[in-house]
């Protein structure tokens, strides 16, 4: 059996953060400047009591409502998020109960962000092709907005909240892979450049031992991002990952129908497209009205590309995730929806 991506649905919260609100906080940042740097006009923002699992469950309910599959058919749940409901239990277990998925199913959380969707596909492929699962839901959900200080306009210009649901299921063997192969990369030396450090036990232990000063309570929960370093990391590693993927498969750009990168920001994506010389007609960007939704950017873009008739059955799609960790990943899928 082979694993295949059969469908993708998504859900966005109702709240919005528009550029005009950001310019009111930092007048030196005009709405036009924000758009030119990020490609984002507005971001979808979760309500104060709305969590990543709420968004992910609704993305799955959207799939069930379309008749693509039903809860009782699912035998495994993968949930990718860096904003889980709790430290324990596993959020995927809560999702199982909420969606009415059988108690005989497996449920697993993945703590990955920008590269998480491609990593999740690798796990899903392994579970399906080793016979551990026949129909698997891979959910992504992020509420990064809850990690960002209100006055941190540099980060608030970029991130939004959202979730997606992908159905991965077994199909009869074909002559070609429908998911894969995979290129992975990790460089933990870059961890400090995109981090929420004060919510973890490492920080608490260091603070209790006097190794780091105690921060004021209103600073503790928030995200730190060194944008220039993250940008440099991306320009150095993403082109090589793509070259390695082409070398492993023997493909060239003529063999690729669509390219979907992690939707980080328009400035970064444009630099990558030009550096790698990706044909314009093969490059898909969809983030202007939702922002960077972390692990959900790639599946949301896939669903929107199909809605925009940029993606059709049988198309070969290159997926590339990169960011927090540092972590990066690249693969191909053949669109089966």
CA distance 259 to 66: 26
pLDDT over 50 (residue 198)? yes
CA distance 45 to 134: 34
Cα 112 vs. chain centroid, distance in angstroms? 8
CA distance 163 to 291: 12
Instruction: Summarize the confidence of residues 190-198 as an average pLDDT.
Output: 86
Quote the Cα angle for 289-295-299, to 5°.
Answer: 65
CA distance 208 to 117: 36
CA distance 307 to 249: 28
CA distance 229 to 128: 37
User: For residue 315, what pLDDT band results from cuts at 50, 70 and 90?
Assistant: very high
13 touches 161 (CB < 8 A): yes
Looking up tokens 């260091």 gives 206
pLDDT over 50 (residue 264)? yes
Q: Which residues contact 255 (CB under 8 A, 6 or more apart)?
A: 249, 316
CA distance 219 to 196: 11
31 touches 20 (CB < 8 A): yes
CA distance 222 to 194: 11
128 touches 170 (CB < 8 A): yes
Computed over every residue of the chain, the mean pLDDT equals: 93
Domains in the chain with CATH codes: 2-171 (3.40.47.10), 179-334 (3.40.47.10)
Residue that wins the pLDDT comparison between 54 and 152: 54
pLDDT value of residue 199? 65
Strand-pairing partners, residue 137, are: 77, 167
pLDDT over 60 (residue 167)? yes
Considering the chain, what percentage of its residues have pLDDT values greater than 70? 93
Kindly state the tokens that stand for 158: 């970029």
CA distance 263 to 236: 17
Evaluated on CA atoms 82, 139, 301, 115, the torsion sign reads: positive
Instruction: Summarize the confidence of residues 50-54 as an average pLDDT.
Output: 98
> For 269-296, how does the pLDDT look when each residue is reduced to its tens digit (9 = 90+)?
999 999 999 999 999 999 999 999 999 9
Residue 333 phi, psi (nearest 5) = -130, 150
Quick one: residue 164, left, alpha or beta (phi over 0 = left, psi -120 to 50 = alpha)?
beta
Within 13 Å and on the Cβ side, how many CA atoms surround 228?
0
Beta sheet of 2-11, edge-to-edge order: 2-11, 162-171, 135-142, 76-80, 106-110
The pTM of this model reads 0.94
pLDDT value of residue 224? 87
């Amino acid at each position: 059996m082979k694993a295949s991506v059969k469908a993708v649905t998504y859900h966005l919260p109702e709240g919005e953060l528009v550029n005009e609100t950001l310019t009111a906080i930092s007048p030196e940042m005009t709405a036009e400047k924000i758009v030119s740097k990020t490609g984002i006009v507005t971001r979808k923002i979760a309500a104060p009591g709305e969590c990543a699992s709420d968004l992910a469950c609704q993305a799955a309910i959207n799939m069930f409502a379309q008749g693509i599959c039903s809860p009782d058919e699912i035998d495994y749940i993968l949930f990718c998020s860096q904003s889980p409901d709790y430290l324990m239990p596993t959020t995927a277990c809560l999702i199982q109960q909420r969606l009415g998925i059988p108690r005989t199913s497996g449920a697993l959380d993945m703590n990955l962000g920008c590269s998480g969707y491609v990593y999740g596909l690798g796990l899903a492929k392994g579970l399906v092709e080793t016979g551990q699962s026949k129909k698997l839901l891979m959910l992504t959900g992020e509420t990064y907005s809850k990690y960002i200080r209100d006055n941190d306009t540099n980060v608030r210009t970029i991130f939004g909240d959202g979730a997606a649901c992908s159905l991965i299921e077994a199909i009869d063997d074909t002559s070609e892979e429908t998911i894969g192969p995979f290129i992975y990369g990790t460089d933990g030396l870059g961890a400090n450049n995109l981090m929420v450090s004060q919510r973890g036990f490492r920080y608490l232990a260091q603070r209790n031992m006097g190794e780091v000063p105690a921060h004021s309570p209103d600073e503790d929960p928030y995200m730190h991002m060194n944008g220039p370093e993250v940008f440099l990391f991306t320009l150095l590693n993403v082109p090589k990952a793509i070259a390695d993927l082409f070398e492993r498969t023997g493909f060239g750009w003529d063999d690729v129908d669509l390219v979907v990168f992690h939707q980080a920001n328009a400035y970064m994506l444009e630099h990558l497209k030009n550096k790698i010389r990706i044909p314009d007609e093969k490059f898909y960007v969809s983030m202007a009205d939702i922002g960077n939704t972390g692990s959900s950017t790639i599946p949301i873009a896939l669903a929107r590309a199909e809605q925009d008739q940029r993606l059709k059955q049988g198309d070969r799609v290159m997926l590339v995730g990169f960011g927090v960790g540092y972590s990066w990943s690249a693969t191909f899928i053949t669109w089966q929806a």
